[in-house]
Amino acid sequence: MPTPQQRIRTLVQTLNRYAHEYYTLDAPSVPDAEYDRLYRELEALEAEYPQFRLPESPTQRVGGAVLDGFETVVHTVPMLSLNNAFSPRDDETGAFDHAEFLAFDERVCKELGVVQVEYAAEPKFDGLAVSLLYQNGILVQAATRGDGTTGENVTENIKTVRNIPLKLHGEKQPALLEVRGEVLMLKADFAALNQRQLEAGQKPFANPRNAAAGSLRQLDSKITAQRKLHFFAYGIAQLAGAERLPESHMEELALLHELGFSLPEGYFGAYTGAAAVLREYERLAEHRPRLPYEIDGMVVKVNSLAEQQQLGFVSRAPRWAIAQKFPAEEALTTVEAIDVQVGRTGAVTPVARLAPVFVGGVTVTNATLHNQDEVARKDVRVGDTVVVRRAGDVIPEVVRVLLERRPMVEKQPALGGDLFSGSLEPLHEPFKLPETCPVCGSAIEREAGEAVARCTGGMLCQAQRAQGLIHFASRKAMDIAGLGDKQIEALVAADVLHSFADIYQLDIAKLQTIKDSKSAATKWAQNILDSIAQSRTPPLARFLFALGIRHVGESTAKQLAAAFGNLDTVRRAPEPILACLPDIGSVVAHAIAHYFRQPAQQKMLDDLLQHVAPQAAAPSPQT
């Protein structure tokens, strides 16, 4: 008779095999009742002999203790993004225009010195990218992509995803394996989740991607376990101690499948030459509505790993891969109103408020009109029937107006004219931006040569102040956990926050002003204050990005930090010197120099530096 330890090991192996057959292979070999019977036996044995519980036990998938927050994980191999290629479709013929992908193929062939390349192609899942780390076959860490360099530790939540192996399959497992893949929610599971949300009187999720992302980032992994997430592997970031090393992307996928990971069966493969890839793209586009999961395109990679290494990277993306996106999805709706929004840089953007319409996987109620010139060019008016377009995570936009459906009224005759002329005119006047900011009343100005009009109120404008502070505290900037959009907007509305420096003068009493229950708010407020304290010595690049300087994104902030080393040098850098930096140019250089020249900005920065000490960066060799 086996010992309890031996029986536990046997049950774990058996149940994991059954689960793999059910969740990954879709070919269960035993009825659910048999699985449940063995599972209950394992639970009872583990309760009696907890010292023999194995890390790969299926009982570890139900969720554990509630976390206070997610730890940060630094990716040993950065999780890079992909450049996009779009294939717009002709409205009349339905033919795709593949010019962008063909240009990518031409660059790859030229760099490799070949006539054609073998590519690997697979669906581009609309989910959340994660990294799974295995040591000696056991899952030890899972992390979100984050900013590509650092992510969040979601190990406990990932363990609840049924088709992710807690222990790799096979007799001989690598000493180290880092798997990259996508967590998503299947369409059927998404529909069932939203039905449960409605029955519970709760708001349904907008789309499967939001549901998956929200589920994976639950601090209570028991909630994640109830959401039925799914995982598809799409690559290997690290591999050591394996019997053999893959020489191509397709061999990587084959190895992952052997080790127990799910692949999108029937929708990935190797294709020689651009024409074969494009035929697969069009096939996938046709099959897209019938797939059990949401996709927004096809990922194309040079198949040979040696050729990938030869091609290398540019900025934050590989030269050997591209995301070939599907055309944007469109729908008809009506414009109920046209408002203006004021962004953190003061940009005043006209926004169409729409009758709700389902397009691109979400219900759309707003669409950008970009600027006054665009509104005038498209002649968008209240009451118009419009075509709305949405592609992936891109903000929906109004594409065109169906003028034949425009609401019309009978034109008033001129004095003494024919009362029965019968001529018609549009019911609504053309839209014009207001002359003053709807938030703070400051003048709205438009600089020569610019399409965007801006509020001149700066941090005096509550909209700019709130958005600027939200950006400052965001994860990719100063990373102040707990101080999100709602909290900052409430603190600004309560007249508590006026500048960046005010964040560092918050205390429990000030934070409690935006909480209904002061007793419940104490721990919450202390967590925020702890996070604020941790943000006082940020890397220079993050600090520069957090300031919200026009045109200065993460990449530009990193360039400035590497080129000048410390904040004092950046503040005093002449515009011509800034313009000489790679990928910056005159427009960005002017924005940076203008920001640091303004007396109000200088004072705001000096006040902030009383509380924050950005860490100097090592200057790059080129400087």
Catalogue the E-assigned strands of 437-579: 444-445, 453-455
Hey, CA dihedral for 257, 260, 261, 262, is it positive or negative?
positive
Which residue intervals of 142-293 are DSSP H helices? 155-158, 187-199, 208-216, 221-225, 249-258, 274-287
Residue 63 gets the label, from left (phi > 0), alpha (psi -120 to 50) or beta, of left
Check if 110 is active-site. no
Closest CA to 61 of 180, 169, 157: 157
Q: Fill in the amino acid letter for 606.
A: D
Give the span between the Cα atoms of 290 and 282, in whole angstroms.
Answer: 14
| Tokens describing residue 337 | 């109103």
Compute the half-sphere exposure of residue 490: CA atoms within 13 Å on the CB side of its CA.
Answer: 12
Give the distance, in angstroms, between the CA of residue 296 and the centroid of all CA atoms in the same chain. Answer: 13
Q: 3-state DSSP call for residue 204?
A: coil
CB 367 within 8 A of CB 349: no
Q: How many residues does the chain have?
A: 623
Tally of CB atoms within 10 A around 468:
24
Answer left, alpha or beta for residue 273, where phi above 0 means left and psi between -120 and 50 means alpha. Answer: left
What is the Cα–Cα distance from 183 to 23, expressed in whole angstroms?
Answer: 14
Whether the CB-CB separation of 335 and 305 falls below 8 Å is answered with no
Amino acid occupying residue 280: E
Looking at residue 400, its amino acid is R
Q: Give the Cα separation of 124 and 182 in Å (integer).
A: 9
Q: Which two tokens stand for residue 330?
A: 């469109």
Q: How far is residue 326's CA from residue 503's CA, in Å, rounded to a whole number?
A: 43
Euclidean distance between CA atoms 549 and 387, whole angstroms: 34
CB 39 within 8 A of CB 15: yes
**How far apart, in whole angstroms, are the C-alpha atoms of residue 240 and residue 78?**
17
Run of H or E including 72:
strand 72-74
Token output for 398: 């109004």
Cβ-count burial of 450 within 10 angstroms (0-12 exposed, 13-18 middle, 19+ buried)? exposed
Residues annotated as catalytic (active site), given as ranges: 124
